[in-house]
């Protein structure tokens, strides 16, 4: 497992998405399998103006 931070700018604002990569190595040490995991809803979709409001509403409803 490998943790990572993806820093980028959009619309003049700095953004950060945190994630984890699950790697499996082949016998020669090269990466044979790779899958990334990250919270797209919480760290990306909620920052989009209209979509963000919908995502935050759904998150509150599901938590209730």
| Structure confidence at residue 6 (pLDDT) | 92
Looking at the structure of the chain, the number of domains it has is 1
Is the entire prediction scored with pTM above 0.75?
no
**Domain assignment of residue 47, given as a range:** 2-63
Q: Half-sphere exposure of 52 toward its Cβ, with a 13 Å CA cutoff?
A: 7
| Structure confidence at residue 5 (pLDDT) | 96
Q: How far does CA 41 lie from the centroid of its chain?
A: 8
pLDDT tens sequence across 9-47:
878 888 888 999 999 999 999 999 999 999 877 777 777
Q: How far does CA 10 lie from the centroid of its chain?
A: 16
| Structure confidence at residue 52 (pLDDT) | 78
| Structure confidence at residue 12 (pLDDT) | 86
């Amino acid at each position: 497992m490998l943790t990572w931070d993806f820093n980028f700018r959009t619309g003049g604002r700095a953004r950060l998405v945190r994630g984890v990569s699950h790697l499996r190595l082949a016998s020669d040490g090269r990466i044979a399998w790779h899958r990334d995991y990250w919270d797209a809803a919480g760290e990306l979709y909620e920052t989009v103006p209209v979509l963000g409001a919908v995502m935050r509403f759904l998150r509150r409803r599901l938590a209730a």
